[in-house]
Chains A and B, each alone.
Chain A
Amino acid sequence: MNTVLECKDLVKYFGSTKALDRVNLNITQGRIVGLLGPNGSGKSTFIKICNDLLTATAGEILIGGLRPGVETKKFVSFLPEKNYLNDWMKVSQIVAFFKDFYSDFDSGKAFDMLNRLNIDPNSRLKTLSKGTKEKVQLVLVMSREARLYLLDEPIGGVDPAARDYILDTILRNYNENATVILSTHLISDIETILDDIIFLKEGQVVLTKTVDEIRDESGKSVDALFREVFKC
């Protein structure tokens, strides 16, 4: 199996706070991976390092064999947990913006999804509600034909109905050679779509398993296992 993401002894400090502590991972092609952990466990930090938005303190991370940079950004599609939309464009303009910069972007797909979610392409980004902005971002990110999707809290701020559509969108819009890594703490909602899970706790990887392994070995759901591992 082809490795899509590999990291060796990845360490990240913010000042004197340790956010990631010697993370070692090997993620292969064609999987949907849940990056799970409580708040502040280093999920976002990890994803941001993958996207070159944060600089690692030590260790190495390789995406498709390359260090994060211009080349990896061409095939990595990233959904941050923040709203990164500017306040002066219309929805249709940000679609054009993505089309301009990403050669793997499919505008037709984006407009289809916007239509399904009842988002008017002519509305200004500034006027959209928080949840709608999240949907727009997800549409943009999933309209790319990327090799790796990194989705940070993709369903955190949207209503349950839209949540189902979004998960469905993720499943339908990635081809089987692509890998999806998504971070969340809403485990029960996404459990059914996951192939693998990674548990992060205080910056350390405490468990990596396939969902099938978890079910076979412990007979538990991922959600139940999570509650057990991270019991307060």
Chain B
Amino acid sequence: MLGKLMKYEYRATARWFLPLYTALLIFAVINKYLPPAQVTAIEGAFNIKQIITVITMFAYFFLVVGLMVVTFVVVIQRFYKSLLGDEGYLMFTLPVKTWEHVTSKLFIALFWNLLSIIIAFGSVLLLIPTQDLRELSRSLKQISEYLWPAGFIVIIVLCLVSLAFGIIIMYAAIALGHLFNKHKLLASFGMYLGISTLSQMIAMLAMPFFIKPLTNSLIAPTPTQFNTLFLGISAVTAAMAVGYFAVTNIILKRKLNLE
């Protein structure tokens, strides 16, 4: 059933992302091959070439911002509207377990978040002139040689865990807000602030434990020390994410009140 839920969740969200991705990549390519705007070379009142360049630059910029906004909004809207809005009547009468609903939303949200990041970076790479790209790849190579292979995996783990955490705390905030009889959205927002503060406090309490080995050494930290730190952060974040997931699941299972 989880697979089926994810299939429909993907379809419901793809109509937002696929056109945006396509547009973003197209504008990145256009910007790369159009000559850069020459502000000083004004001959006459209108310089069509220049106007087009400026417009495509702005279009690209707005698409990047738009992609970030849409990614954020879709995560919230898909959870709120499809589970706790009128569509919840359909979703919650399906013979499906509550955790499967939450998990399907989470996985698909994670998928789009990752893809949005990859596409946004990819479009930047498309924009960069070829000779700069070579330099960039050289420095990236140095970094990755320094980290490779353990550090590389650790960073990916940290990114995934942090992304999932960011999504789950929004779910938990919405679910907690649902417990209120009135002003559910406002309550959700307040809950979000509350959960964020709580999480930061937990992180601050846990952090010295992981940072200590780093500050003790007088020489530059070794990759292993970095990896330990990042894994520590990942573990704390993951533990909190699991906790918030459980809270979300319990509320939707035992305290669901669709009005």
Contacts and interface: CB of A to CB of B under 8 A. Distances in A.
Interface of A: 14-15, 48, 51-55, 70-71, 73-74, 76, 78, 80, 82-86, 88, 97, 100-102
A73 B181 contact: no
Given A80-B89, A83-B86, A53 B97 contact: no
B254 interface: yes
B258 A15 contact: no
Nearest to A16: B181
B87 A84 contact: yes
Most interface-central of B4, B90, B94, B258 (chain A CB within 10 A): B90
Contacts of B94: 73, 101-102
Nearest to A137: B90
Contacts of A54: 256-258
21 contacts: A14-B259, A15-B181, A52-B93, A53-B88, A53-B92, A53-B93, A54-B256, A54-B257, A54-B258, A55-B255, A73-B94, A73-B95, A73-B96, A83-B86, A84-B89, A85-B87, A86-B82, A86-B87, A100-B8, A101-B96, A102-B95
B90 A84 contact: yes
Contacts of B88: 53, 84
Interface of B: 1, 4, 8, 11-12, 15, 82, 86-90, 92-97, 181, 254-259
Contacts of B87: 84-86
A162 to B, nearest CB: 21
Given A55-B256, A82-B86, 13 more contacts: A54-B258, A55-B255, A55-B257, A71-B95, A78-B89, A83-B86, A84-B89, A84-B90, A86-B12, A88-B11, A88-B15, A97-B8, A101-B95
Nearest to A72: B95
A84 B88 CA distance: 7
Given A55-B255, A73-B95, A88-B15, A14 B181 contact: yes
A51 B12 contact: no
A13 to B, nearest CB: 10
Nearest to A74: B95
B93 A78 contact: yes
A84 B86 contact: yes
A139 to B, nearest CB: 14
A82 B256 contact: no
A53 B95 contact: no
Nearest to A81: B89
Contacts of B95: 70-71, 73-74, 101-102
Contacts of A15: 181
Contacts of B12: 86, 88
Given A53-B93, A80-B89, A101 B4 contact: yes
A11 to B, nearest CB: 14
A-B pairs with the 8 shortest C-beta distances? A84-B89, A84-B90, A73-B95, A80-B89, A74-B95, A15-B181, A53-B258, A101-B94
Contact of A85 (B11, B90, B96): B90
